[in-house]
């Protein structure tokens, strides 16, 4: 029977990540203040800081002014270090250059070619251009969020019903074209990590991220780590069948949760409620959200119907997993002030959900891009400690 044990590097990695995050959040900060904030010994802080300075993650800044005594040196995150973040969708990819603090420097959208085999090349070329345009920055890696499930050990895409192009080959192609290390993972898993890195979660409590887009995926962070399940399939609540006689889902089943509560579902509701065949093409979900913000009755009704189904599915998650927090990620968060109460009201219909906190992601529409940064930081800092 195979067992997995913690190496003697594990506590050091945990402490190093803790110190890095404290510097990131509270910069500029002195070594003494880091020791007080972290509860670690000053000698431990000094060793960790020296490693992070030598590896280029932290730089020493201007001297703080004090009333008397020796003036401590301020520590700051190296602002020159950046990550190329990619948020993959079936029809388009959003890419951004983001610094290690989480600030977006630039952002652009790459529309996917109609021919699936050309999608990888289109993304690679756009990535090369955006890196060349920011040559003064130091790229430490590329993070890619994928709307599908990946077996990280076998490097195999095992479930991505909404994608029709070979997304897994993107990792190898990007590494070959840019010379940068690439981290790729399911978008919901990455968003769960991002909530710990950049969000309001402390990492000490269980949380579930619900990513709402063309489909619905969930990332589960429990007992201080991501829950992946057998072959990385944990969290596919979007393909739980809620209506056996419902619409055919991209996974092959009928009446899955995402056929009722995804962005696509809201657009379908809008077309059905409009009672007209005048659409030359389907309106985008973004258009629908803008219409709802202007008070358009049909758009509001469609998004509200989506919100009701979204809340019903979240109720299922709250009862099944009993997390401390459930965080919603996606474009729907931009109208949370209009429909968040609808989602929460539906979730609270079961008495077992009363303890869960429901909230939109602290990153808003940028949450998926920041999650790609979290993938790279988690890996890069681990390699720094080795």
Confidence of residue 1 (pLDDT cuts 50, 70, 90): very low
pLDDT digits (tens, 9 = 90+) for 17-61: 788 888 888 888 988 898 988 888 888 899 999 999 998 899 987
State how far the Cα of 187 lies from the Cα of 78, in Å rounded to an integer.
26
Please tell me the predicted confidence (pLDDT) of residue 230.
76
- The pLDDT, as a whole number, for residue 172 is 87
Provide Rg for the chain, Cα atoms: 22
Look at residue 5 in the predicted model and tell me its pLDDT.
32
pLDDT tens figures, 348-385? 998 888 889 999 987 766 888 888 888 898 777 766 55
Question: What are the helix (H) ranges across 228-296?
Answer: 257-261, 263-274, 285-293
- The C-alpha atoms of residue 127 and residue 87 are separated, in whole angstroms, by 12
Higher pLDDT, 150 or 34: 34
- What the block records as the tokens of 321 is 């997993």
What value does the mean pLDDT take over residues 78-98?
91
Q: Is the CATH code 3.30.420.40 the one for domain 202-361?
A: yes
- For residue 3, the model assigns a pLDDT of 32
Give phi and psi for 374, each to the nearest 5. Answer: -60, -35
Give the Cα separation of 326 and 220 in Å (integer). 9
Please say whether the structural domain 10-77 has been given the CATH code 1.10.10.10: yes
> Which own/partner pairs from 151-157 qualify as long-range (CB within 8 Å, at least 24 positions apart)?
151/231, 151/232, 152/185, 152/228, 152/232
Would you list the domain boundaries of the chain? 10-77, 81-192+368-385, 202-361
Work out the mean pLDDT of the chain and round it to a whole number: 85
Same fold, 10-77 and 81-192+368-385: no
Q: By three-state DSSP, how is residue 245 classified?
A: coil
- Assign 302 a pLDDT band (cuts: 50, 70, 90): very high
Share of the chain above pLDDT 70, in %: 84
Q: Is the pLDDT of residue 180 over 90?
A: yes
User: How confident is the model at residue 146, as a pLDDT?
Assistant: 85
Question: Which pLDDT does position 193 carry in this prediction?
Answer: 84
Q: Are 380 and 202 in contact (CB under 8 A)?
A: no
Rounded to whole angstroms, how far apart are CA atoms 175 and 373? Answer: 16
pLDDT > 90? residue 83: yes
pLDDT given at position 7: 40
- The confidence band for 4, taking pLDDT boundaries of 50, 70 and 90, is very low
Task: Provide the token pair at 115.
Answer: 């021919």
The confidence score (pLDDT) of residue 202 equals 63
Tens digits of per-residue pLDDT, 242-299? 999 999 998 889 999 999 999 999 999 999 998 765 555 689 999 999 999 999 999 9
User: Among residues of the chain, what percentage have pLDDT more than 90?
Assistant: 46
Question: Range with the lowest mean pLDDT among 34-48, 146-160, 324-338, 360-374?
Answer: 146-160
Instruction: Evaluate whether the domain defined by 81-192+368-385 bears CATH number 3.30.420.40.
Output: yes
């Amino acid at each position: 029977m195979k067992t997995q044990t913690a190496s003697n590097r594990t506590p050091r990695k945990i402490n190093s990540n803790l110190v890095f995050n404290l510097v990131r959040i509270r910069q500029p900060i002195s070594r003494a203040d880091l020791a007080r904030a972290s509860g670690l010994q000053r000698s431990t802080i000094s060793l960790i800081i020296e490693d992070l300075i030598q590896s280029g993650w932290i730089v020493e800044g201007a001297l703080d002014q004090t009333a008397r005594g020796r003036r401590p040196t301020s520590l700051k995150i190296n602002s020159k270090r950046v990550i190329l973040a990619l948020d993959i969708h079936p029809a388009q990819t959003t890419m951004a250059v983001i610094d290690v603090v989480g600030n977006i420097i630039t952002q652009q959208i790459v529309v996917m070619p109609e021919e699936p085999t050309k999608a990888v090349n289109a993304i690679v070329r756009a990535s090369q251009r955006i890196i060349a345009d920011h040559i003064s920055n130091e790229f430490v890696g590329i993070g890619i969020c994928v709307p599908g499930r990946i077996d990280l050990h076998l490097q195999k895409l095992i479930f991505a019903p909404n994608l029709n192009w070979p997304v897994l080959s993107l990792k190898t192609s990007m590494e070959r074209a840019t010379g940068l290390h690439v981290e790729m993972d399911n978008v919901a898993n990455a968003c769960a990590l991002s909530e710990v890195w950049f969000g309001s979660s402390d990492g000490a409590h269980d949380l579930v991220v619900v990513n709402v887009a063309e489909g619905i995926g969930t990332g589960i962070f429990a007992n201080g780590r991501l829950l992946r399940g057998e072959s990385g399939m944990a969290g596919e609540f979007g393909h739980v069948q809620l209506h056996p006689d419902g619409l055919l889902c991209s996974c092959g089943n009928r009446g899955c949760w995402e056929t009722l509560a995804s962005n696509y579902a809201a657009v379908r509701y809008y077309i059905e409620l409009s009672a007209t065949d005048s659409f030359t093409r389907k309106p985008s979900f973004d258009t629908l959200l803008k219409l709802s913000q202007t008070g358009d009755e049909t758009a509001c009704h469609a998004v509200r119907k989506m919100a009701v189904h979204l809340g019903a599915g979240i109720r299922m998650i709250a009862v099944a997993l009993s997390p401390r927090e459930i965080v919603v990620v996606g474009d729907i968060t931009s109208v949370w002030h209009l429909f968040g109460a609808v989602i929460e009201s539906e979730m609270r219909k079961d008495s077992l959900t009363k303890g869960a906190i429901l909230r939109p992601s602290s990153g808003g529409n940028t949450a998926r891009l920041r999650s790609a940064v979290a993938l790279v930081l988690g890996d890069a800092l681990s390699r720094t400690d080795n």
